[in-house]
Structure 1
């Protein structure tokens, strides 16, 4: 579906068409849950944040002006829902989430690349699991932009818009998150080699 068709769904929903909004929810529910899985670890929190996202989207339909793509608008609402839930629970670190691992493995994992020897695939999987665990341990201020940029594939400007940050702050947070992950990965590799 194109951004214009997505906008048309929201325009219909703004006019009171509940079925159009339900179509919008069905269209983006899986992607919103994948995003929330990268930001929250508890399945109940993910489910509640997803519900909060769509409830807030319904309540704020009049706030959609079409300045951004509908999905960008919805992602901003989802990130806010995750941030609110994390603040309430004071979640600074979280264990790895299997759902996020599944999403990443599908998008970027060994199955997405050309055939490789089994020992390299296992090693890739171990590195991926290690990095996912470390991403989940990042403070949310660094985790959110990193997940949006490197996992969800948004541009730096789109991430800045979603998180309501300046472009410079967005780039800085992504860079700092990557540097922290790189340092931890280098240490992990050295420990494995010794």
Structure 2
């Protein structure tokens, strides 16, 4: 079976046995999703790239500690967030610089809606990013994982190391605060 077709658990088992190709497939599968999460924590694209790389290096070094009790991405997420937070502390970040996030993803222009609709979508995206940056970190983290990274409530709880009820509460309160800010 080709690595791209193997489940995470099998790739982890192979990587724990020293198979570098299996680990490369793990990185390929989860790098984009981890980058999306870390983009919401760090304000500089270079910092995000370095944090993602550092997280995967740490994960490789500590792969023997992964026991499969949670989803692989949950484990990688925790390493990535810890890496990003350490980077923020070292650099003394106070807030997320939304200007650094703008323009990373060009809005799609629907030929039926025209450029005005694309401009409105870009404006809305900017407003949401500004509002998201104003949320308390615990709410922002939960909302980003649920609504931007696409994790389930259970996966959010596991990634944050909190109960399911606490994760749902953070998501709900974060969404309410976002609504009020918008």
TM-score (norm 1): 0.79
1:116 corresponds to 2:119: no
Deviation at 1:164, TM superposition (A): 0.8
Distance 1:182 1:74 in 2: 30
Q: Pick from 77, 86, 89: which aligns with 2:88? A: 86
Q: Offset of 1:161 from its aligned partner?
A: 0.4
Cα–Cα, structure 1 residues 101 and 115, in superposed 2: closer, same or farther, change >3 Å? farther
User: Which stretch shifts more, 85-94 or 150-159?
Assistant: 85-94
8 A Cα contact 2:102 2:126, kept in partner = no
Query: Are 1:173 and 2:176 matched, yes or no?
Result: no
Instruction: Name the SS of the counterpart of 1:39 in structure 2.
Output: coil
Aligned position for 2:101: 98
Structure 2 equivalent of residue 17 of structure 1: 19
2:76 aligns with: 74
The 5 A counterparts of 1:32-181 are: 32-96=34-98, 97-98=100-101, 102=105, 115-116=112-113, 118-181=115-178
Judged with a 3 Å threshold, the aligned counterparts in structure 2 of structure 1 residues 45 and 138 are, in CA distance, closer, same or farther, namely farther
Higher helix share: 1
Decide whether the 8 Å contact of 1:39 with 1:143 is kept in 2.
no
Distance across 2 between alignment mates of 1:91 and 1:169: 27
* Cα offset, 1:118, TM superposition: 4.2
TM-score (norm 2): 0.83
